[in-house]
Amino acid sequence: MSVELHLPDLPEVPISVGARPAPAPGAPRPVAMPWHLRLRELLAGWLPLLLMLLLALATWWLVENSPRPPGPVVERPVSPDPDYTMTRFALERFDAEGRLKLRIEGAEMRHYPADDRFEVDAAQIRAIAPDGRVTLAQARRAVGSGDGSELQLLGGAQVTSTDGRGQTLVMRGEFLHAFLVTEQIRSHLPVQVRLGASELRAAGLEYDHPTQRLELKGPMRVVLPPRPGRG
């Protein structure tokens, strides 16, 4: 037995590919989003990328503007020329209690930084010991250490002091090496020494005031004052 079904003919509906279906009659039309909301959504989507870009730019700026590590320090040779000079000067040094212990004056002084020494023309030196005893020195030229503790007197050098008995002690020569801290005088060149009324000439000397020792070197000549006649 066979059964046949006959369906009524359906009306053809046109289909448009890619086209948005038309809204049904009477349906509400979609409302367009305000521009500032669309801009906020756009920024919200791109914000992580913008932050990463700003961070990269800030890192590059810091690298470019950060101070460079210092290169190897090249020591410049110290000039052999004087770094300063003084004319018609007077230089004074004081101890911790404010008492004058050294005064150096002269026509001109030159300081050499290479070995921290100074040279003085027409030097006049006055040194005061802790016990108040005064030692005077002079020379046409003096070469001293930076702290003034050591002086080389050149040309017409003379040092005047006193011995332990209070007698005047005068040492003369073309070269005298004075150590003001230890109160010593040395010379390897001919010298003339006057102690009181006695005069001595020698090829060199070493004088140490703390021990009251005067050592004359080489050939010596001694001139003693005449003894007073007996009555």
User: CATH number for the domain including 179?
Assistant: 2.60.450.10
pLDDT tens over the chain, length 231 residues: 444 545 455 455 455 545 555 555 655 565 566 766 776 776 666 667 777 888 888 787 777 777 766 656 666 666 778 888 999 999 898 888 888 988 999 999 999 988 889 999 999 999 888 888 888 999 999 999 888 788 999 999 999 987 667 788 899 999 999 998 888 999 999 999 998 888 999 999 999 988 888 899 988 888 777 766 554
Which residue range is the domain that position 107 belongs to?
84-188
Q: DSSP string of 8-42?
A: PPPPP----TTPPPPPPTTPPPPPPPPHHHHHHHH
Residue 200 lies in a domain: no
Residue 69 lies in a domain: no
Residue 93 lies in a domain: yes
What is the count of structural domains for the chain?
1
Residue 44 lies in a domain: no
- Dist CA 210 CA 89 (whole Å): 31
Give yes or no for a contact between 218 and 203, defined as CB atoms under 8 angstroms apart. yes
Residue 61 lies in a domain: no
pTM above 0.85, yes or no: no
Residue 134 lies in a domain: yes
Report in angstroms the alpha-carbon separations of 59 from 47, 66, 69, 180, 230.
18, 11, 18, 64, 107
Residue 228 lies in a domain: no
Report in angstroms the alpha-carbon separations of 150 from 12, 97, 119, 126, 191.
127, 22, 12, 13, 19
Residue 147 lies in a domain: yes
Q: Which of 128, 125, 155, 153 is nearest to 137 (CA)?
A: 125
Strand ranges for the chain from DSSP E: 84-94, 100-112, 117-128, 134-145, 150-162, 168-179, 184-187, 191-195, 198-202, 204-208, 213-217, 221-223
Distant-in-sequence, close-in-space partners of 103: CB < 8 Å, separation ≥ 6 = 90, 91, 92, 93, 125, 126, 127
